[in-house]
Structure 1
Amino acid sequence: MALELFGTKSCLYTAELRADLEWRGVEFVEYDVESDPKALERMLKLTHGLRTVPVLVEDGRVKQVGWQGRGCTVG
């Protein structure tokens, strides 16, 4: 299964994590939880209600929340 990135277009930390993954050549699928309610619902299930992005998921398990100790809160 591909790596999944849950984030928002407005979150600087989502952009930084995306840039890092792209720079390292890591394949991933990205979901914008502000514009995709189903993605937000799935992210909340995976994080047990945590509303911080970015969230990196590998094989259905949360691998990382935030980027370098920082993140954005989703409303």
Structure 2
Amino acid sequence: MKTVEIYTTPTCGYCQAAKRLLSQKGVSYAEVDVAADPDRRAEMVQRAKGGRTVPQIFIGDTHVGGCDDLYALDRAGKLDALLAA
């Protein structure tokens, strides 16, 4: 299974929803709290090609996007394949 990284802030409901979906699928992930570390926020924006909102989700080298994008992949039946590839 690919490494999953999710950039979050503690009070973000969309971050909680994204983490909940990943947990329901049994996926472990590395969480980066960008509120606590401004350098990591800059890293997130660079990796996300300018994306400034949280969550920003990466599966392996693939930038998934945010929570809505993650759920859309799941509804389309593509999330499991992306995680397993």
**TM interval, short-chain normalised:** 0.7 to 0.9
- Structure with the larger helix share: 2
Secondary structure in 2 matching 1:52? coil
Q: Retained in 2: the 8 A contact 1:55–1:64?
A: yes
- TM-score where L is the length of structure 1: 0.78
- Long gaps (5+) in structure 1: 70-75
What is the aligned partner in structure 1 of residue 39 from structure 2? 38
4+ runs deviating over 6 angstroms: none
Q: Which amino acid aligns with 2:33?
A: D
For 2:17, the aligned partner's letter is: E
**Equivalence map 1:1-75=2 (5 Å):** 2-65=3-66, 67-68=67-68
Q: CA RMSD in A?
A: 1.6
- Quick check: 1:46–1:61 contact (8 Å CA) kept in 2? no
Q: How many residues align?
A: 68
Partner of 1:73: none
Which stretch shifts more, 28-37 or 44-53? Answer: 44-53
Give the CA deviation at 1:63.
1.5
> Which amino acid is the alignment partner of residue 44 of structure 1?
V
| Rg comparison, structure with higher value | 2
Residue identity (%): 26
Extract unaligned runs of 5+ from structure 2: 70-85
Residue 6 of structure 1 contacts residue 32 of structure 1 at CA under 8 Å; is this kept in 2? yes
TM-score, length of structure 2 as denominator length: 0.70
